[in-house]
């Protein structure tokens, strides 16, 4: 595929090389050392790349072929990107426009071709557009996500009930709730059963899945500690069956789970939400979560 539809592509890359450099590596520990200060300056906003890197280093998370990119201007790190293989998106941080151009050139030269890119909306969109102009095809929005942070819990009204940690005997209901979560939140997921089983397999043995048990003793809502950064915890896998909705159970399970990790020494909790689902987002804002940034996943169609 030629690049005749964007004749200035090479010239812009040449200009970007004067200012920005991109370092490629596959060692997660070395990559973390290069980028630690940059990422930790916005810890909740970058909870996803931080959590993924640390999870890979600790072997808590599995991965495919790792590709790490650090973007610098002189000695200063100005952003990064990482790909953990397979159908995972390339995760990018906020970058200046010319730095995005330098990143795309390096990604292309390394033969890394993820079909999705995720990160701060402006950066992810520019990356997708530049990659499309290089390889052809089109781009589309997969999901717009809000990144939310909680520093202090605002307690919802509780008509009775308690937070419980899922045990091995809860695997079946955890699996059922997780599958419905994937089907509802990611309707285009080609393998919802397999992906939900993987999540439960990873989280349940570590005591990271929790339920809200109502006053009647029913397990009516679920949430999980998905990953951690040094000072924050990410809450995910929040699901309430349709027949139990409208009773505040999601707010209760999220509030109590968030407080649990604050009590364990975390400075903040964070979560990612689908911005097109205001009903679920209300459950989070009701208990003290506030949006701090926006991230978008773009698909690059070849």
Same topology, domains 9-136 and 149-294? Answer is yes
Q: How far is CA 167 from CA 196, 234, 249, in A?
A: 17, 20, 20
For tokens 């973007």, what's the residue?
A: 71
Look at residue 64 in the predicted model and tell me its pLDDT: 82
The number of beta carbons lying within 10 Å of the beta carbon of residue 29 is 11
Q: State which residues of the chain have pLDDT below 70.
A: 1-18
Specify the pLDDT at position 63.
83
Percent of the chain with pLDDT over 70: 93
CATH architecture of 149-294: 3-Layer(aba) Sandwich (3.40)
pLDDT of residue 293: 95
Backbone φ and ψ of 125, nearest 5°? -65, -45
What are 59-88's pLDDT values in tens digits? 877 788 999 999 999 999 999 999 999 889
- The whole-number pLDDT of residue 18 equals 54
Contact 123/296 with Cβ under 8 angstroms?
no
Residue 2: what pLDDT?
33
CB-count burial class (<10 Å; 0-12, 13-18, 19+) for 74: exposed
- On the CB side of 230, how many CA atoms lie within 13 Å of its CA? 8
pTM for this model (two decimals): 0.88
> Sign of the CA dihedral 61, 67, 73, 78?
negative
The two structure tokens encoding residue 241: 């069956």
Residue boundaries of the structural domains of the chain: 9-136, 149-294
CATH class of 9-136: alpha beta
For residue 3, report the phi and psi dihedrals to the nearest 5 degrees: -115, 30
């Amino acid at each position: 595929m030629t690049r005749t539809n964007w004749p200035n592509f090479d010239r812009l890359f040449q200009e970007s090389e004067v200012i920005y450099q991109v370092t490629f590596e596959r060692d997660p520990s070395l990559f973390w050392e290069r980028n630690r200060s940059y990422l930790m300056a916005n810890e909740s906003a970058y909870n996803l790349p931080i959590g993924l890197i640390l999870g890979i280093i600790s072997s808590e998370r599995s991965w495919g072929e790792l590709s790490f990119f650090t973007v610098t201007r002189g000695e200063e790190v100005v952003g990064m990107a990482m790909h953990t293989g397979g159908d995972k998106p390339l995760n990018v941080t906020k970058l200046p426009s010319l730095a995005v151009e330098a990143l795309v050139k390096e990604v292309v030269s390394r033969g890394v071709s993820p079909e999705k890119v995720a990160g701060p909306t402006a950066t992810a969109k520019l990356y997708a557009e530049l990659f499309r102009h290089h390889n052809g095809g089109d781009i589309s929005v997969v999901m717009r996500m809000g990144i939310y942070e909680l520093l202090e819990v605002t307690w919802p009204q509780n008509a009775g009930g308690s937070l419980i940690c899922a045990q091995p005997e809860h695997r079946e209901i955890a699996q059922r709730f997780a599958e419905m979560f994937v089907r509802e939140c990611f309707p285009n997921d080609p393998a919802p059963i397999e992906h939900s089983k993987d999540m439960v397999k990873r989280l349940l043995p570590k005591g990271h899945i929790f339920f809200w048990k109502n006053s009647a003793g029913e397990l009516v809502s679920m949430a999980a500690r998905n990953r951690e950064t040094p000072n924050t915890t990410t809450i995910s896998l929040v699901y309430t069956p349709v027949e139990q909705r409208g009773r505040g159970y999601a707010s209760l399970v999220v509030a109590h789970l968030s407080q649990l990790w604050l009590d364990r020494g975390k400075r903040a909790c964070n979560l990612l939400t689908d911005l097109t689902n205001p009903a679920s987002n209300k459950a989070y804002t009701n208990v003290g979560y506030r949006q701090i940034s926006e991230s978008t996943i773009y698909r690059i169609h070849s």
